[in-house]
Amino acid sequence: MTQGNFLFPQITSLPGQTGISQTDRQVRKQEGVPGEFEPIFDRALESVGQPPDLSQIRAPLKFSAHASQRLKDRKISLDSLTMAKISDAVNKAEAKGIEDTLVLTQDAALIVNVRNRTVITALDRSSANGNVFTNIDGAVVV
């Protein structure tokens, strides 16, 4: 019996129970008859569907301390749309087997370690003009 949000333990049944006694459950189990839980659990599993393909789930981008400081010093702000584009660029670089990539956005140039999904350094786009980028094996323009 419930009163408010409290359950009183001396009451043996809850709303929604079918009233099968413990003895009946033991007999059913010995005879191989499924209990109450199994069909409900099976229906719940069917309604959920297939588990997600974990190979498609990728970690979010991280920023090294150096890259974070460069973004702050150079007053580069990356909005959520730009971050999504950068993440997509890293996914494309990963698909091509690139280890370290240059990602060029409208406002910034970022060097990203693809395997760790970590932005290593960043500079504003105007400062990037005329620079030579080394230790990269690909570039993606977004």
Q: Which pLDDT value is given to residue 61?
A: 94
CA-to-CA distance for 12 and 3, rounded, in angstroms?
15
Same domain as 60, residue 44:
no
**Model confidence pLDDT, tens digit, residues 78-122:** 999 999 999 999 999 999 999 999 999 999 999 999 999 999 999
Please report, for the domain that includes residue 81, its CATH number: 3.30.2310
Do β-strands 100-104 and 108-113 pair in parallel, antiparallel, or remain unpaired?
A: antiparallel
Beta bridge partners of 124: 108
**What is residue 91's predicted lDDT score, i.e. its pLDDT?**
94
Q: Tell whether 112 and 64 lie within a shared domain.
A: yes
Residues 63 and 11 in one domain: no
pLDDT for position 2: 47
Segment 128-131 long-range contacts (CB within 8 Å, at least 24 positions apart): 128/104
- The sign of the dihedral angle between the CA atoms of 57, 59, 132, 125 is positive
**Residue 46 confidence (pLDDT):** 74
Do 99 and 118 share a structural domain? Answer: yes
Same domain as 67, residue 7 = no
Q: Which residue range is the domain that position 17 belongs to?
A: 2-48
39 & 70 share domain: no
CA-to-CA distance for 10 and 7, rounded, in angstroms? Answer: 9
| Integer Cα distance of 105 and 139 in angstroms | 11
Same domain for 61 and 131: yes
Q: What is the predicted pLDDT for the residue at 21? A: 64
Whether residue 126 sits in one domain with residue 70? yes
**Number of domains within the chain:** 2
